[in-house]
Structure 1
Amino acid sequence: MTTRSIKSLQIGMHWFPERAGGLDRMYYSLVGALPGAGVEVRGVVAGSPRVAEDTGGAINGFGPASQSLPLRLMAARRALRREIRRHRPDVISSHFALYTFPGLDVTRGIPQVSHFQGPWADESQVEGADSLGQRMKRYLEQSVYERSSRLIVLSNAFGQILTSRYGIPPERVRVVPGCVNVEQFNLPMSPADARLKLQLPQGRPIVLAVRRLVRRMGLEDLIDAVALLKKRVPDVLLLIAGKGRLEGELQRRIDEAGLSDNVKLLGFVPDAHLAALYRAATISVVPTVALEGFGLITVESLASGTPVLVTPVGGLPEAVAGLSQDLVLPSTGASAIADGLAAALRGALRLPDAEACYAYARENFDNAVIAKRVAQVYEEAIAERVH
């Protein structure tokens, strides 16, 4: 707990109830938990007037994310200037470089902490962005990170990206993992009850992947893995929850491999059903092939009592290794995923039970736990400015 209240201005991307995404979910969780750690929260995001209504005016939407980029940047700048004039904060907390950049002049003189959720420019390149767009994103990021006296990363893996690719001195970097409301995922129902509620088959082993349907998530490998796994576990059922531009391509891959009985694309699953879906699964899997800073879904799954297998990419091993090293696959690719899932589903791999998964998530990643750690970093940044 902090010794005095810290006034923070939290710059986010979108408001999670309006736009679903990992960064938005973490922002939403954190701003809800920070007051309990002695941090007053005000914030700005791309969003509608409903954001202010939902938060009693604490978080304000400066306009829809569908607006043109120049209009959004001007609106973000106006919102930041207004907030600083009315409620001058002790610390600026940047969760998204794009909306922080246009206000760098109006935030000058206030300690700044950046939450580094991933190399935005590099992620765009993986998804096929043009080189000019990538260079602009890198410039924006670099400008915001250089201004920050402290930078919070989700894992040591992303800390290394920040120091090697952006030239940020290691002494300014702090590792604080992502957070979830663990109780929200700890449903008072058995896996059988969850399957009944969601109309899922009771007798089949269910593998769950909750992912955006984009290139770096490794979903192509996962579908190919099920083709291999089906020979050993014929009744396996893979459920992929999420939406994205690869939906049509992934569905064709499923159909062409003759896996329509074994792989189902669920589309977007609302928050109200997500915890039940995790609980219904035998095991979750995160098959990422590039640029994964933490993998919030790993913690969501564990908080639901469901073990999760991850590829050895980015911060994924750090998220689960404290529970069991066996949850980290030896490599990416279809064969490694198929072997790992086969071992898990056939009992050859010892998986932590539901209570161990839940306890690990609660002790290490619950909102209240992470909010206290973030508050300590804010205090560091403020104290450095004072001295």
Structure 2
Amino acid sequence: MSILRILATGMGWPVYQPGGLNTYFRSICEKLSEIHDLEAMVSSPEQPVHQGIKIIQATQPHKMMLMRQWAFRKKAAAIMNSRPIDVLYTHFSPYALGPALEAKKRNIPVVMSFHGPWANELGVEKLDLVNRLRNSVARKIEMSTYQLGDRFIVLSQFFKDILHESYGIPLDKIEIVPGATNIDNFKPASDRQKTRAELNIPSDRFVVLTVRRLVKRMGLLNLLEAWKTVVLEEPNSLLLIGGRGPLADELKEKIREYGLEQHVRLLGYVSEDQLPLYYQSSDLFVVPTQALEGFGLITIEALASGVPVVATPIGGNKEILTPFDSRFLFKDTSADAIAEGLVRLYRERETWPTSEVCRNFVLSKYTWNHAANHVNEVLLRTAGEQNDTMKRMCLS
């Protein structure tokens, strides 16, 4: 196998900026760096250090977007001028634009990972004038960026459709490579009661967990409304909501309004170290997303931990859970559908997939070895095609 010299650009490093995109970026870079000569460039408040990966701090996230974009382009140009690069592998379109422009100047092929419609994500929460302007600018950045890609990697058929229909990328340029999880970090509990005691979770409660950014599109307000019905069915149930975001105060108010203080616990930010423990302590994981759930990283993390997952039929979660067990998909995104689904599943809990079944489903297709092998094939093929093109140009 040829060893490629890869320059990878991401948004941030998960130690400083938690999130699915950053976790994915770190994990795929870890695997690719075992095979290739890889440098990872990110925006970070401090210089990240990670064994086995050379990380370049291009800029800091508190700076204005235009300054960050310029910093990525300037740093990429310096790298490309100083040493050969076989392929540029990008994540997060605003930071990909400058490096991709520099790569095109030097006939370096560009593989782009599409993690979702950034402009739509900015606009889905509010439709005021400021957000409409942000959405418009973001859309222009995305359109300019994606015109520079030679091949695209997406996490789901849902994202492939968006990339083709909304951005005009030809289908033959798009490869579906499902995401993955760290199966060593996320695994079933050896002693659930001990883990619950460590987290101060009562041993006798029926525990449902969700971990989300606290914004409206994640469906947490609908989940709380549904939870009123659930506690009537099962007064011993406890909902744990992990995460932080602008919706925190409204969630607290709704918990008080609905009289759910004894049945809902807001966890705040859940660290990487604590997250596996919360999965292991739970009976069920719920994903009430209302829009733009491109893959469902938390879904496979929970399943790898031996915990069944129930979710709204949005995006990647539908693709994961339909072949797993379609009973674990809500009928739609409404609070009524979420309530009906949770009550039904509670009544059917004796027939749920076992912890072993949940984990084996992930092991069969959602490990980082699966993902990295496919991404590696795409990178090698794209770099090889560029080399063939350059040879033909020289011969002609």
Partners of 1:179 and 1:34 in 2: CA distance? 14
The aligned residue for residue 173 of structure 2 is 172
Partners of 2:41 and 2:5 in 1: CA distance? 14
Q: Deviations over 1:144-195 (max 9, x none)?
A: 2121111111110111111111011111111111121111111552322221
Q: Deviations over 1:250-298 (max 9, x none)?
A: 1111111111111111000111111010010000010001011011100
The aligned residue for residue 144 of structure 2 is 143
The aligned residue for residue 64 of structure 2 is 68
Q: Secondary structure at the match of 1:183?
A: coil
Unpaired segments ≥5 residues, structure 2? 390-396
Partners of 1:374 and 1:104 in 2: CA distance? 18
Partners of 2:52 and 2:362 in 1: CA distance? 30
The aligned residue for residue 50 of structure 2 is 54
The more displaced of 57-66 and 247-256 is: 57-66
The more displaced of 214-223 and 348-357 is: 348-357
The aligned residue for residue 342 of structure 1 is 343
Deviation at 1:82, TM superposition (A): 2.0
After TM superposition, the structure 1 = structure 2 runs for residues 95-174 of structure 1, keeping only pairs within 5 Å, are 95-108=91-104, 109-128=107-126, 130-174=131-175
Q: CA RMSD in A?
A: 1.6
The letter of the residue matching 2:85 is: P
Q: Secondary structure at the match of 1:352?
A: coil
The letter of the residue matching 2:229 is: L
What fraction of aligned residue pairs are identical, expressed as a percent? 34
Q: Secondary structure at the match of 2:6?
A: strand
The aligned residue for residue 285 of structure 2 is 284
The aligned residue for residue 86 of structure 1 is 82
Q: Secondary structure at the match of 2:184?
A: helix
The answer to whether the 8 Å contact 1:48/1:62 transfers is no
Question: Relative CO higher for 1 or 2, CA cutoff 8 Å, sep ≥ 6?
Answer: 1
The letter of the residue matching 2:317 is: L
Count matched residues. 383
The letter of the residue matching 2:9 is: I
The answer to whether the 8 Å contact 1:236/1:262 transfers is yes
Q: Secondary structure at the match of 1:305?
A: coil
Q: Deviations over 1:14-65 (max 9, x none)?
A: 01111101111111111111234x33321110014431x3356711112220
Q: Secondary structure at the match of 2:332?
A: coil
The aligned residue for residue 307 of structure 2 is 306
Q: Secondary structure at the match of 1:115?
A: strand
The answer to whether the 8 Å contact 2:188/2:355 transfers is no
Q: Secondary structure at the match of 2:201?
A: coil
Q: Deviations over 1:73-114 (max 9, x none)?
A: 222122211222233221111111111112333111111111
Q: Secondary structure at the match of 1:93?
A: strand
The answer to whether the 8 Å contact 2:210/2:285 transfers is yes
The answer to whether the 8 Å contact 1:39/1:375 transfers is no
Deviation at 1:303, TM superposition (A): 1.0
The letter of the residue matching 1:203 is: D
Partners of 1:217 and 1:340 in 2: CA distance? 17
Q: TM-score, normalised by structure 2?
A: 0.93
Deviation at 1:8, TM superposition (A): 1.4
Distance 1:56 1:232, change over 3 A: closer
Partners of 1:348 and 1:362 in 2: CA distance? 23
After TM superposition, the structure 1 = structure 2 runs for residues 177-326 of structure 1, keeping only pairs within 5 Å, are 177-186=178-187, 189-326=190-327
Q: Secondary structure at the match of 1:147?
A: coil
Partners of 1:371 and 1:57 in 2: CA distance? 15
The answer to whether the 8 Å contact 1:205/1:345 transfers is no
The aligned residue for residue 24 of structure 1 is 22
The answer to whether the 8 Å contact 1:182/1:366 transfers is yes
Q: TM-score, normalised by structure 1?
A: 0.95
The answer to whether the 8 Å contact 1:187/1:276 transfers is no
Deviation at 1:340, TM superposition (A): 1.5
The more displaced of 332-341 and 163-172 is: 332-341
The aligned residue for residue 37 of structure 2 is 40
Partners of 2:44 and 2:96 in 1: CA distance? 15
Partners of 1:313 and 1:237 in 2: CA distance? 25
Structure 1 residue ranges, 4+ long, deviating more than 6 angstroms after superposition: none
The more displaced of 74-83 and 107-116 is: 74-83
Deviation at 1:13, TM superposition (A): 0.2
Partners of 2:82 and 2:51 in 1: CA distance? 17
The answer to whether the 8 Å contact 1:323/1:360 transfers is yes
The answer to whether the 8 Å contact 1:344/1:350 transfers is no
Partners of 1:146 and 1:205 in 2: CA distance? 50
The letter of the residue matching 1:69 is: M
Deviation at 1:143, TM superposition (A): 1.6
Unpaired segments ≥5 residues, structure 1? none
The answer to whether the 8 Å contact 1:326/1:350 transfers is no
